[in-house]
Structure 1
């Protein structure tokens, strides 16, 4: 555990058991900040809207074409959209239990992995830290934002125009998150309400179509023979589940700001926010997909790319001004999504820094000058702009989506299975049973088969790059934590530093074995 996470003392025990308890309590990690320098601006409403802000982005408006093209049939299409939320509920139970062990720590999975896998020392935290840092972009939503923005203003979607608008969107939303957490949350609240109302409008439109009150003839035709043309290829099914899971991702966003919740029971607040936001999303997504299938022929949906929502409105309202309603909805949804993602994920990078796993941890974790995690926000902006510029515009959406998914599927399985050893550690420390303890679950990962994916280059590129990032992270750990200390005659230890703004960090330092009596340790990553 992090040193200050628990105030309870372990029960009296024999000496050998007491030594084991002391060792368990010495798990490395960032110290708890009793007075969070980022403030306590998160309420139940803002937690719900933080989740909505990330979930209700581009997914429901842009995923339909790729999903239906992968599975082939309407029956499998709806199956995929039903399975993803069920898996999300399992993930929500996992997060609720794990967060209850560390109620004062923001950062989500970065905290849980740190505590679940203390051996080899620093290994899992470093692999997660390096991977999260290298993949800390939010360019996917920026690309969809750019596409729909161009459609809304009847501008051609070219590589240059898409790139320019995506960078502008990324810059503006990052600047808002940088300037003020309180105003970022307020803006997220407004845009989240707008997103929900937008989906309700799509759902009502679909109901009107199914009732035969529009010019669309035989709206039930597309639901006949739902399993025809089903594609049972494992590669297609795996890609489909990744995409639909990504479309509902965001139910955990409020867990990233757990330490900033304004409540005596922050876990209860973020857990309730997760269940409320996810449940509402499931209903809206299912009915929205019913509306899509009722209006747009399946073959058109398959060929729609990321513009299935625009096709829906064109079929219902034609080429009139009403056809621009949905692009405006999507651009607004993506705009709010980018702010919500930056607010949440910047806390992950800050928590990584507080573990001492990034160079100059005090620099990364500072709240100056605006009371926000400024360095993580600027870094995410820089990385997002970089990948937008480097990747071919036509392939950027699918490649970035899949690249980020595979490494974090590995981490998702890791912190789910890590619940059992963590529970055992809690028991040995004499801590009470968690009231959020979940059912035992198993996660099965299906690897893709050989073949062509949904990008113009070799489909396995994202998998190779994603796994390459994990291997690079492991190599980084070996060189800096194992090889160099062995050659240099020192060991890696942690020190706690308190900063003027109230931030508290762990700092990795070198302790030379020949100078153990010295009072000074040499910083490792600063």
Structure 2
């Protein structure tokens, strides 16, 4: 890999992502394993085929509206970090202690727990589907030994992902573009299989329409909850604003291309599944796309597990890429260790942030079952989305003179605030599991860290020694430092 040139102004991240790469970044984060493995949550709760398909369309529309509001925020606050940067800009001036605490809580949840745990789960899913085509050859292997092999594969995949993000943004762009194309191709194969089944008259399930529709408000609410989680990732390009070429143009354009395209793929894939599988079969299947492939694709059915593996690898790569930039911005603002804001002198990547995220993800992989941890923390994501809409309304007052090449109607952020509040309350109201208190305890632990280290800036002396050691070990320097 050729070394990148350092600008005369100093070391800084470069704008390597164009429109095509921004679209693929959104594809990469939004399309994971869910649509292939478990898209049946909305169907189980909606109760009927027609209502389920309406849920998928409406969820896509809600995601598009939220993403367009983020596009405006990205033009007003042209910094990486997405909601973290927006909170910092909007709330810090409101109160000296509580304003920055909102931003810190966001980065604390994302960087320390949610994103590395999410990457760990995605990579473990990748490992599962890499091994699936070899299932007949491993049938005699004890389950415990097979689980160890899968964990080793997951760790090797994590090492490759971390290496790609460590080495070069250009390398990330090339790899992600390929994997995004492959996962979209896998979606299209499923859709074409469904089109074929429709052409030969397989319409028995689809013709049931609204038969069996749920009349329970809570069930329909949970159907929307399931659908919207599948669409999560629509804000991906605003996390890396500082590495986008012409962000004021490419953020809105990438959203307008990617989110409707994902909505169309999700809708048509669900139609395809329902041409072959009955409602009970789809709800009960452990991996819907695999069952579909076995029935429709014949000898080509191996394409589905390969497609899921490619999709999960690309998703993990993009999620890690985004969270390392959030980690970088937080280090630059003093909300994380200063070393996270250092940049490699030749590769121009936030190397310490990448390495740290790789290590945290490794710990979660080794820890084992962490899905419940993500469930208990994930409801906070929609709280952050809602607060981002509040930040948008505040910035319209405090930064009314800032040029806005793109602006959404006021009803959109107000509507997303309502949706966010609804989605934050639904999991707790429907399943008041004590595990949700773990999220609250984690936030309180964040406040305990924030008060002395961030608010009062009381940094232990050893932190400077660690920063110097990291600089020497990784060949990294603070942003904008000139290399004379």
TM-score interval w.r.t. the shorter chain?
0.7 to 0.9
Answer yes or no: is 1:310 the counterpart of 2:290. Answer: yes
Residue 504 of structure 1 and its aligned partner are, at CA, apart by 5.2
Answer yes or no: is 1:344 the counterpart of 2:313. Answer: no
Residue 130 of structure 1 and its aligned partner are, at CA, apart by 1.7
Residue 340 of structure 1 and its aligned partner are, at CA, apart by 1.8
Residues 319-372 of structure 1: CA deviation (Å, up to 9, x unaligned): x5322110011111111222222222211110011111112x145433356321
Matches within 5 A, 1:254-293: 254-262=237-245, 265-293=246-274
- For 2:398 and 2:80, the matched residues in 1 are separated by 21
Match of 1:252 among 232, 235, 241: 235
Residues 241-262 of structure 1: CA deviation (Å, up to 9, x unaligned): 3442232223322222211223
- For 2:158 and 2:434, the matched residues in 1 are separated by 25
Q: 1:111 maps to which residue?
A: 85
- For 2:90 and 2:240, the matched residues in 1 are separated by 20
Unpaired runs of 5+ residues, structure 2, are: 1-7, 459-474
Residue 276 of structure 1 and its aligned partner are, at CA, apart by 0.5
- For 2:285 and 2:9, the matched residues in 1 are separated by 50
Q: 1:411 maps to which residue?
A: 384
- For 2:77 and 2:110, the matched residues in 1 are separated by 20
Match of 1:232 among 216, 220, 228: 216
Question: Given the superposition, is the C-alpha separation of residues 71 and 479 from structure 1 closer, same or farther in structure 2, using an over 3 Å criterion?
Answer: farther
Structure 1 window deviating more from structure 2 (249-258 vs 224-233): it is 224-233
Matches within 5 A, 1:195-214: 195-212=183-200
- For 1:389 and 1:65, the matched residues in 2 are separated by 29
Residue 400 of structure 1 and its aligned partner are, at CA, apart by 4.8
Unpaired runs of 5+ residues, structure 1, are: 1-32, 454-458, 486-498, 506-526
Residue 59 of structure 1 and its aligned partner are, at CA, apart by 2.4
Residues 409-445 of structure 1: CA deviation (Å, up to 9, x unaligned): 1111111112122111113xxx245232212223232
Q: 2:13 maps to which residue?
A: 38
Question: Given the superposition, is the C-alpha separation of residues 180 and 271 from structure 1 closer, same or farther in structure 2, using an over 3 Å criterion?
Answer: same
Match of 1:503 among 472, 479, 482: 479
Q: 1:88 maps to which residue?
A: 63
Matches within 5 A, 1:84-483: 84-103=59-78, 105-118=79-92, 119-121=94-96, 122-135=100-113, 136-137=115-116, 138-154=119-135, 155=138, 159-212=147-200, 218-228=202-212, 230=214, 232=216, 234=218, 237=220, 239-262=222-245, 265-305=246-286, 307-317=287-297, 320-359=298-337, 361-368=338-345, 370-392=347-369, 396-397=370-371, 399-427=372-400, 431-432=401-402, 434-440=404-410, 441-442=414-415, 443-444=417-418, 445-446=421-422, 447-448=425-426, 460=433, 462-480=435-453
What is the CA RMSD across the aligned residues, in angstroms? 2.9
Is the partner of 1:153 in helix, strand or coil? helix
Structure (1 or 2) with the larger CA radius of gyration = 1
Structure 1 window deviating more from structure 2 (130-139 vs 62-71): it is 62-71
Whether contact under 8 Å (2:186, 2:303) holds in the other structure is: no
Structure 1 window deviating more from structure 2 (33-42 vs 144-153): it is 33-42
Whether contact under 8 Å (2:111, 2:323) holds in the other structure is: no
- For 1:61 and 1:150, the matched residues in 2 are separated by 16
Larger RCO: 1 or 2 (CA < 8 Å, sep 6+): 2
Whether contact under 8 Å (2:324, 2:354) holds in the other structure is: yes
Whether contact under 8 Å (1:73, 1:231) holds in the other structure is: no
Residue 42 of structure 1 and its aligned partner are, at CA, apart by 0.9
- For 1:449 and 1:127, the matched residues in 2 are separated by 20
Residue 163 of structure 1 and its aligned partner are, at CA, apart by 3.1
- For 2:107 and 2:191, the matched residues in 1 are separated by 41
Question: Given the superposition, is the C-alpha separation of residues 500 and 48 from structure 1 closer, same or farther in structure 2, using an over 3 Å criterion?
Answer: same
Number of aligned positions between the proteins:
436
Residue 309 of structure 1 and its aligned partner are, at CA, apart by 0.8
Match of 2:22 among 17, 42, 47: 47
